Amino acid sequence: MAIRRDFTFHGNGRELTAFYAEPEPPAGADPGAPLPPHPAVIVVHEIMGLNDDIRRIAARFADSGYVALAPDLVGAGFRPLCIARFVQGMGKGATGRPYREMRAFHDWLAGRPQVDPDRIGMAGFCAGGGFAIVYAASGGRELRAVAPFYAGLPADMSIIPEICPVVASYGGRDGTFGGNGPKLAAALEAAGVPHDVKTYPDAGHSFMSQHEGLLLAVMRRGPSRVGFDPEASEDAWARMLAFFGEHLAPRSPTAG
């Protein structure tokens, strides 16, 4: 049976928590045998931290053949304070605590025998999408592809030429981040970075996320038009998997 669970390990000076998901073993495989090395995806949560919806997305990556790791960069404690600390850390760029912790998660994932360390990508949502852009363009361990969803853009766009191939998705009704798609596409085009950037005109912010509750009802009426859009979600998922299938494929023997 495939592993799908939360776990904790010590890194960057504190206990770090993440959700981990593996693909199902091949048919006929020894139940006790480890998986052979697979490509992997790091899934970066929205501003509220790791939740069941991000676990759902990570598990879907596993169902698609990837080892998936969804770190919690917000952490445990008084939630508003933890979120404020997370946002403050992201504002410091690659030197901030969330980026240092992500390198610890990345190293942990790359060291697993089930993972090919040369075939790791990242998908980020909202705050996690902006985080993914900066992380991918700022060094650390190499990513082969990154998928930011409805993401903010870096304050310093001069880092864009350093990024790996990008597949990005935005909602046209998102009054906060919806206009970032054409800006990101133009910067990637100018830098010669392989990319697929698409804006869905009828979708709002967080169109991949299946949230519920009073907060969602309020946010649906705001300028970001937050809400799940099944049509945009499925198209974006298919584009992302196709892009990852190309860029996280094994390198040819002649590749550098």
pLDDT at 218: 47
Provide the number of structural domains found in the chain: 1
Which DSSP string do the residues of 6-23 spell out, in sequence order? Answer: EEEEEETTEEEEEEEE-P
CATH code for the domain of 188? 3.40.50.1820
Within a domain: 163: yes
Counting every residue written for the chain, the total comes to 256
Asked if residue 45 has pLDDT above 90, the reply is yes
For residue 30, is it within any domain? Answer: no
pLDDT given at position 65? 94
What is residue 255's predicted lDDT score, i.e. its pLDDT?
46
13-38 in b/e burial notation, b at 16+ Cβ within 10 A?
Answer: eeebbbbbbbbebeeeeeeeeebebb
* Residue 104, domain extent: 4-25+35-247
Question: Would you say residue 256 lies in a domain?
Answer: no
- The answer to whether residue 79 sits within a structural domain is yes
Picking from 84, 137, 121, 129, the residue whose alpha carbon sits closest to that of residue 247 is 121
DSSP reduced 3-state for 56: helix
Which of 13-22, 96-105, 135-144, 156-165 ranks highest by mean pLDDT? Answer: 156-165
pLDDT tens for each residue of 182-238: 999 999 999 999 999 999 999 988 888 876 654 554 455 555 566 788 999 999 999
Q: What is the mean pLDDT of residues 70-80?
A: 83
The answer to the question of residue 252 being in a domain is no
Tell me the average pLDDT of the chain: 87
Q: Which residues pair with 221 in a beta bridge?
A: none
First to last CA, the chain: 36
User: Percentage of residues in the chain with pLDDT exceeding 90?
Assistant: 59
The DSSP bridge partners found for residue 167 are: 196
Question: Helices 127-137 and 97-110 meet at what angle, rounded to 10?
Answer: 70
Task: Please give the pLDDT value at position 235.
Answer: 98
Q: What is the mean pLDDT of residues 116-124?
A: 96
